Amino acid sequence: MPEVKARRSAKNHKTDPSRSLDRRKHAESAFCFWMGLTMMFNRMFSSLMMGLSFSVLLTALPARAQTLTVGVESSQYLPAYSYENGEYTGFARVLLDAFAQDKGYRLEYKALPVVRLFSELLAGNIDLKFPDNAMWSASQKTGHDVVYSVPVIAYVDGVSVVPASKGMTVDAVRSLGLMRGFTAWDWQDRIMAGTVSLHENNSFPALLETTIAGRNNGAYANVAVVNHQLERVLHKPGALVFDPGLPHTRSDYHLSSIKRPDVIAAFNAWMAANTDRVARMKAEFQVEKGVE
């Protein structure tokens, strides 16, 4: 009897195949559920990270720089500016490049003779012009809405003479040397009357050399430029001196535009925000030497 009971007990403890199959199916379903959920979260996380990475990349990439054409004079007029061997240099280049870099512009400098440069501005073939002044070629600008920046460089245009001639009277001046395309505003009446003749020159150093040689009574030009050219180019400092007793003009160089008044407004704001920086540039180039 005990043996029979034992067999019955063992039979009672056998696993029911149907229950075992149900448990296996339940486990497999749970596993599939959690795997699917995990894969879904992984895809969501990957998509989120890709989106964030793309956003960061767009933020990191700089906006494409807007190109502006700046019309400049093809003259050797250092320290203010100079165009020589295909390169524009001087204070103006450093200043305008700094502005462009800060504001995200790309500048292309287009060097032209003075007279043609005015024509290009009025024809709308350049975005900006430097230098400019409301007095220059005023009659040609009639009917054109030319916008000017705040003053960029203060200057004195006057007569530089050999030291022995300093203090001469206005009537003693019979001839003036001048860069071609420039205007001696203070002498226009005498020039028109024929009492003063003009000797125009395409080269600034040549203008000074002819004056030193006595072919002109004086050279009418920017005083700071005369001093720079005498010291750095001709290596003849003091060979000519500014005569404040003769008619001269005190004014400023400006950046101008017809097409892009918005850029002029941006430049004005930049100048106001960078007064110390601009002052250091001026001191480095001595661009206003002799103006005081």
The answer to whether 190 and 196 are in contact (CB under 8 A) is yes
Q: What is the CATH number of the domain that holds 122?
A: 3.40.190.10
Q: Are residues 148 and 263 in the same domain?
A: yes
- Structural domain includes residue 9: no
The answer to whether 163 and 241 are in contact (CB under 8 A) is yes
- Structural domain includes residue 181: yes
Q: Are residues 142 and 164 in the same domain?
A: no
Q: Are residues 147 and 170 in the same domain?
A: no
Q: Are residues 99 and 212 in the same domain?
A: no
Q: Are residues 239 and 274 in the same domain?
A: no
Write the single-letter amino acid at 40: M
Q: Are residues 143 and 87 in the same domain?
A: yes
**Full domain range(s) for residue 190:** 155-250
- Structural domain includes residue 163: yes
- Structural domain includes residue 145: yes
Q: How many CB atoms are located within 10 Å of the residue 37 CB?
A: 10
Residue 25, classified by CB atoms within 10 Å of its CB into exposed (0-12), middle (13-18) or buried (19+), is: exposed
- pLDDT (0 to 100) of residue 213: 97
Tokens of 188: 């226009």
Tell me the per-residue pLDDT of 235-260, one tens digit each, with 9 for 90 and over. Answer: 999 999 999 999 999 999 999 999 99
Tell me the per-residue pLDDT of 15-24, one tens digit each, with 9 for 90 and over. Answer: 455 555 455 5
Q: Are residues 143 and 279 in the same domain?
A: yes
What is the share, in percent, of the chain residues with pLDDT greater than 70?
78
Q: How many helices (H) and strands (E) does the chain have?
A: 10, 13
Choice between 76 and 68, residue whose per-residue pLDDT is larger: 68
- Structural domain includes residue 148: yes
Tell me the per-residue pLDDT of 262-279, one tens digit each, with 9 for 90 and over. Answer: 999 999 999 999 999 999
Backbone angles phi, psi at 126, to 5 degrees: -130, 155
Count of the separate structural domains present in the chain = 2
Tell me the per-residue pLDDT of 185-205, one tens digit each, with 9 for 90 and over. Answer: 999 999 999 999 999 999 999
Tokens of 61: 């990439």
Q: Report the SS3 class of residue 73.
A: strand
Q: Are residues 160 and 203 in the same domain?
A: yes
- Predicted model pTM: 0.74
- Structural domain includes residue 11: no
Q: Are residues 75 and 142 in the same domain?
A: yes
Q: Are residues 172 and 236 in the same domain?
A: yes
- Structural domain includes residue 15: no
Calculate the CA dihedral of residues 184, 186, 188, 190 and round it to 10 degrees. Answer: -120
Does residue 62 surpass a pLDDT of 50? no
- pLDDT (0 to 100) of residue 240: 98
Distance CA(30)–CA(102), nearest Å, equals 60
The answer to whether 114 and 151 are in contact (CB under 8 A) is no
DSSP state of 179: E
- Structural domain includes residue 245: yes
- pLDDT (0 to 100) of residue 291: 82
Q: Report, as an integer, the average pLDDT of 164-192.
A: 96
Does residue 40 surpass a pLDDT of 70? no
